[in-house]
Amino acid sequence: MLSVNQEIPEELVQTDSALLCPLLAGQMSIHDGFLVHASDPNTSQTRRCGFVIRYVPTCAYPIQDPDRPRRFHATVMASGSDQFSHFST
């Protein structure tokens, strides 16, 4: 998994099978988080934002990167109960 401003080496991307999906201002894309995707730089004065929703079982736990410590939050329990408490709420 990559974090902000990291890139996948070009030789690992199958550019010949890439599909361009240009968006107009105000539009959005919804796709799987494992989909290789990219965008050109934002040259407007308006910020570009991303919104991520991940459904994970409560038995899953985050792995910390010592170079980029951060907290992982689970803000909504979709169903069931959390018996592991691996995420702060």
* Nearest-angstrom CA–CA distance, 58 and 40: 36
Q: Does residue 1 carry a pLDDT above 60? A: no
- What would the pLDDT profile of 66-78 be if each residue is shown by its tens digit? 877 777 666 788 8
Cα dihedral 76/79/83/88 (nearest 10): -10
- What would the pLDDT profile of 8-65 be if each residue is shown by its tens digit? 888 888 888 888 888 888 888 888 877 888 888 888 898 888 787 878 888 888 787 7
Q: What is the DSSP string of 7-24?
A: ---GGGS-GGG-------
- How is residue 68 written in tokens? 């980029």
pTM value surpassing 0.85: no
- How confident is the model at residue 74, as a pLDDT? 64
Would you say 74 and 88 are in contact if contact means Cβ atoms under 8 Å apart? yes
